[in-house]
C-alpha cells in the first residue's frame, strides 16, 4: 500500500484517512506516518476543504504506543488538540524523560496551537478558488517550483509564509536523497496576485534563521519515490544509450544513409515555386556525440528548473530533424 506525496496532496479526506490505516496495517513506520499527518495538516491550512484531524485515532495511537519516535517527538506540539489533558500527559511522559523537558514541550504546544489554528480548521467557504505557485530552496541551495491547487485565496501574506515554512520541518519530501523544502523564496497566486515578493539572499537567510527554531524532525527520514522523477531518469538513461549508438554510427559511417533519406524527404515536401534554403548538415549533428550530450544536458537543466540555452534548443531541433521527428504544433 503506497502513501507518498502524490496521495497526501491529491486524495480526498475520506479516502486519504483510509489510506493511512491501510498503510499502517502493512508497515510499522510510526515516524513516517506522523510526518505524513503533518503534511496533511499543512494542506488543510491552505485549502478550504476539511482535512482537519484526519486519522486522529491512528495518530494518537502512534504517539502513545508507536516505536522509534525519537526523531519526530518534537512534532507532537502540532498535534496537541488531538489529545485530552490526560492523554497529553502520557505522551509527554513517554517521549520526554525529565519534568523540565515536559514543561517546555507543553508550553511550546500551547504557543504553536495558538499560532497555527488553520492546521485544525474545518471547511471554509470561499467565493473563488486559486492555485498557489511557490519557490523553495533545496538542501543544496538550488531553487525549485512547487504548485498546489484548491487554495483558499483569503489567506494573508504572513499566513502563507508561516504555514508553508512548516514544510521545512519535514524530511520525507526529498529528491535523490536531497531535501526539497529547506527555505521559502517566493509565493504567487495563479492569477498573479503576489503573496510574498522575490527576496534577496540576505532576506532568505534571515527568514531561514527563524524557521530553524520550529520543532522539526531530528534526522533524515526515508525518501518518497516520485513517479515523475523516475520517468525523467529513464528518459535520460535512454538518451544516453542513444548517444553511444550515435557515436558508434559516426565511426562506422552507418548513419549517412538515414541522413540521405531524411534530406530527400524534406526536399520532396518543399514547394516547387519557392527556393529551398540550404539544409544544415544534419548527419554531422547526428553523428556528433557532443550534440547529443547537449540534448541530455538540456533535459537535466529542465529537471533542475532551468530553461535550455539557445544553443541547446538549436542542437535539439537539428537532431530531431535528422531523426525524422516532426515539430509539435501548438494548439
- The per-residue pLDDT for range 25-71, each reduced to its tens digit, is 999 899 999 999 999 999 999 999 999 999 999 999 999 999 999 99
Q: How confident is the model at residue 327 (pLDDT cuts 50, 70, 90)?
A: low
pLDDT at residue 225, as a whole number: 45
Q: How confident is the model at residue 261 (pLDDT cuts 50, 70, 90)?
A: very low
- In percent, the amount of the chain with pLDDT more than 90 equals 45
Please give the grid coordinates belonging to residue 323.
531523426
State the chain's mean pLDDT as an integer.
79
Q: How confident is the model at residue 270 (pLDDT cuts 50, 70, 90)?
A: very low
What's the sign of the alpha-carbon dihedral 19, 41, 214, 88? Answer: negative
Please give the grid coordinates belonging to residue 6.
502524490
Partners of residue 143 on adjacent β-strands = 137
Buried b / exposed e over 256-274, threshold 16 CB at 10 Å, is eebbeebbeeeeeeeeeee
Q: What is the mean pLDDT of residues 194-209?
A: 70
Residue 218 has pLDDT above 70, yes or no: yes
CA–CA separation, 51 vs 12, rounded Å? Answer: 8
Residue 106 has pLDDT above 80, yes or no: yes
Q: Among all chains, which residue has been given the C-alpha cell 540550404?
A: 278
- Is the whole-model pTM more than 0.85? no
Q: How confident is the model at residue 130 (pLDDT cuts 50, 70, 90)?
A: confident
Helix/strand number for the chain, H first, E second: 13, 6
Amino acid at each position: 500500500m503506497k502513501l507518498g506525496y502524490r496521495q497526501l496532496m491529491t486524495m480526498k479526506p475520506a479516502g486519504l484517512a483510509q489510506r493511512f490505516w491501510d498503510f499502517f496495517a502493512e508497515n510499522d513506520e510510526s515516524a513516517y506516518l506522523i510526518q505524513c499527518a503533518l503534511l496533511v495538516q499543512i494542506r488543510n491550512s491552505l485549502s478550504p476543504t476539511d482535512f482537519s484531524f484526519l486519522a486522529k485515532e491512528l495518530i494518537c495511537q502512534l504517539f502513545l504506543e508507536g516505536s522509534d519516535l525519537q526523531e519526530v517527538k518534537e512534532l507532537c506540539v502540532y498535534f496537541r488538540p488531538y489529545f485530552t489533558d490526560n492523554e497529553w500527559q502520557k505522551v509527554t511522559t513517554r517521549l520526554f524523560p525529565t519534568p523540565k523537558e515536559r514543561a517546555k514541550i507543553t508550553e511550546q504546544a500551547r504557543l504553536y496551537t495558538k499560532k497555527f489554528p488553520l492546521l485544525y480548521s474545518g471547511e471554509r467557504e470561499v467565493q473563488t478558488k486559486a492555485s498557489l505557485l511557490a519557490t523553495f530552496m533545496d538542501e543544496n541551495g538550488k531553487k525549485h517550483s512547487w504548485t498546489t491547487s484548491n487554495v483558499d485565496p483569503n489567506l494573508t501574506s504572513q499566513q502563507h509564509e508561516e504555514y508553508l515554512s512548516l514544510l521545512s520541518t519535514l524530511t520525507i519530501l526529498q529528491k535523490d536523497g536531497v531535501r526539497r523544502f529547506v527555505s521559502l523564496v517566493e509565493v504567487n497566486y495563479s492569477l498573479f496576485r503576489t503573496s510574498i515578493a522575490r527576496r534577496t539572499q540576505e532576506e532568505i537567510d534571515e527568514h531561514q534563521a527563524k524557521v530553524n527554531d520550529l520543532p522539526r524532525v531530528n534526522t533524515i527520514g526515508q525518501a518518497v519515490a516520485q513517479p515523475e522523477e523516475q520517468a525523467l531518469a529513464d528518459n535520460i538513461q535512454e538518451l544516453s544509450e542513444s548517444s553511444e549508438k550515435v557515436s558508434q554510427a559516426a565511426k562506422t559511417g552507418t548513419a549517412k544513409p538515414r541522413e540521405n533519406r531524411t534530406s530527400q524527404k524534406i526536399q520532396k515536401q518543399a514547394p516547387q515555386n519557392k527556393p529551398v534554403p540550404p539544409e544544415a548538415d544534419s548527419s554531422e549533428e547526428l553523428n556528433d556525440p557532443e550534440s547529443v550530450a547537449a540534448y541530455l544536458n538540456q533535459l537535466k537543466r529542465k529537471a533542475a528548473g532551468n530553461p535550455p540555452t539557445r544553443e541547446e534548443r538549436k542542437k535539439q531541433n537539428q537532431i530531431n530533424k535528422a531523426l525524422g521527428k516532426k515539430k509539435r504544433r501548438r494548439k
